[in-house]
Amino acid sequence: MQRPGLTTEVVDTSVYERAVQRFREQRIVMPTFAQLADPMDLAPEVAADVAAADPDAPDPRNLFRVHWHNAADRRGFAAVPDHLVLPRELTGVEAPIVVALADRFPMIASHKVLAAYACLAPRIVTGQFDPSSQRAVWPSTGNYCRGGVAISRIMGCRGVAVLPEGMSAERFAWLEAWVADPSDVIRTPGTESNVKEIYDRCAELDREPDTVIFNQFSEFPNHLAHYLVTGRALERVLRHVGRGRPSLRPFAFVSASGSAGTLGAGDYLKEQLGMRTVAVEALECPTMLENGFGEHNIQGIGDKHIPLIHNVMATDYVVAVSDRVTDRLNVLLNTGPGRAHLARRGVPLRLLEQLGSLGLSSICNVVAAIKLAKHARLGPDDAIVTVATDGAPMYHSERDRTLARDFGGIFGPTEAAATVGEAIEGAGTDDMLELTDADRRRIFNLGYYTWVEQQGIGFDEFVERRDQATWTRMRDLLPAWDEMIVEFNARAAVPDR
């Protein structure tokens, strides 16, 4: 593939030199992908320097926190990424569901900041983006565009967020505090499912010479970073959970599709641990399951198309979850009566106190894992791993809206019990599919209409993604980019970390 983000050569030396000068002036050091995958290998003095930075400030040192090994205080590093192990008392299934917590990431409290860094850094070191004059445009349904704005700001350039106008109020409040100009937040029509409208607005912006679009749905560095950084982090979590439990078998990795970047970790876990990859979508918009369409409120899962960076032919299951379920569980997990009911079910207090780390798409991932455990009849020795993309603070307004709409403003013991019965105990094995080769081909082929007919991707480039060798070859880009990052840092005369 010869897409713009997939070169290992300097394309424009003048752009490259201006980027070097900008990084020198602002004393910006970029981490390599290897350092993000293994941050515990950083020199002690470097780790101490990073720890001194405010994790929520536009401080270049926060680039060295764009990984899963941040401690709960988001300042220090943790040898094992922070995670929850959800027990039967919460999930209703015997199989342990392991959830890696992304609210430890800097600035946006979501792992989407990793995807943003992964997309921008290779463009910087190959002379394909000029931070002194160009705007980085980040199309998203929420977290990725926040990550893009954060990464742009601390890497010395201007970031523009493009997202649907119906997203949570908390997303817009964060963006308005971080952008250089209010016009850098562009609202498009619709809600979570209206990705095409985002693409159309980006097509207009792309006509402007000072603009570069970083489309997370087609930027392969998004996939590659999650393959290495997220994949290795989840492997460490699973090995940690399995200590003292030699019979524990890693069974599957579950992740909502969204841009499909996080699903790249499934390729790593499949190769290293023999795990299945489970792609999740909203039942109200069953694109993979039924070639369907619709609107939903599981914010963080853009849909109605198949992302170019989704390795469909390596996907084993598709599971659909209703936004009615995620909306109501958001109330259950984040209200006093809801947590009191869970405590009566035997959920430990320490776990209850950490449920705020689960946002809407995180809850979706957990429900999908429950459905998978029931479908595959998994037992206590079968581990499912997933990720909590962001936490509940991003959805307090959505919780209040659901509380008023679905419960008349009253959520007590009766409502809590009914929610558990419907959303957890009632999670069935319907609306899911264990994929055959024919199913994978059907889903793969559906992407043709978005990428070849609408977005102008070459036919041969589109088709070659069927071959797993294409995805394997791409991984060679990561060490090549790392070498270029080291050289770039040296040319910028900033001490290497």
Dump pLDDT digits (tens) for 28-62.
999 999 999 999 999 999 999 999 999 999 999 99
- Token look-up 């019979």 returns 247
Is the confidence at residue 396, as pLDDT, over 80? yes
Question: Can you give the pLDDT at residue 495?
Answer: 57
Query: Binning pLDDT at 50, 70 and 90, where does residue 244 land?
Result: confident
CA–CA distance, 99 with 362 (Å, rounded to integer)? 9
Is the confidence at residue 494, as pLDDT, over 80? no
Region 177-190 average pLDDT: 92
Question: Can you give the pLDDT at residue 182?
Answer: 94
Question: Can you give the pLDDT at residue 135?
Answer: 95
Burial of 73 (0-12, 13-18, 19+ CB in 10 A): exposed
Question: Do the beta carbons of residue 22 and residue 132 sit within 8 Å?
Answer: yes
CA–CA distance, 85 with 455 (Å, rounded to integer)? 41
Mean of the per-residue pLDDT values of the chain: 94
pLDDT tens-place string over residues 250-281: 999 999 998 999 999 999 999 999 999 999 99
Question: Can you give the pLDDT at residue 302?
Answer: 63
Question: Can you give the pLDDT at residue 431?
Answer: 96
Question: Do the beta carbons of residue 282 and residue 322 sit within 8 Å?
Answer: yes
Cβ of 4: how many Cβ atoms within 10 Å? 14
Query: Binning pLDDT at 50, 70 and 90, where does residue 167 land?
Result: confident
Region 290-306 average pLDDT: 85
Region 109-126 average pLDDT: 97
Helix axes 112-125, 143-154, angle to 10 degrees: 40
Cβ of 346: how many Cβ atoms within 10 Å? 10
Q: pLDDT exceeding 70 applies to what percent of the chain? A: 98
Question: Can you give the pLDDT at residue 2?
Answer: 56
Q: pLDDT exceeding 90 applies to what percent of the chain? A: 89
Both structure tokens of 398:
């959505």
Question: Can you give the pLDDT at residue 493?
Answer: 84
Terminal Cα distance for the chain, rounded: 31
Is the confidence at residue 1, as pLDDT, over 70? no
Query: Binning pLDDT at 50, 70 and 90, where does residue 194 land?
Result: confident
CA atoms in the 13 A half-sphere facing the CB of 82: 22
Residue with the bigger pLDDT between 86 and 180: it is 86
Give pTM, 2 decimals.
0.96
pLDDT tens-place string over residues 454-465: 999 999 999 999
Question: Can you give the pLDDT at residue 178?
Answer: 95
How many Å is the Cα radius of gyration of the chain? 21
Query: Binning pLDDT at 50, 70 and 90, where does residue 496 land?
Result: low
- Token look-up 């998994």 returns 378
Question: Can you give the pLDDT at residue 344?
Answer: 97
Question: Can you give the pLDDT at residue 497?
Answer: 55
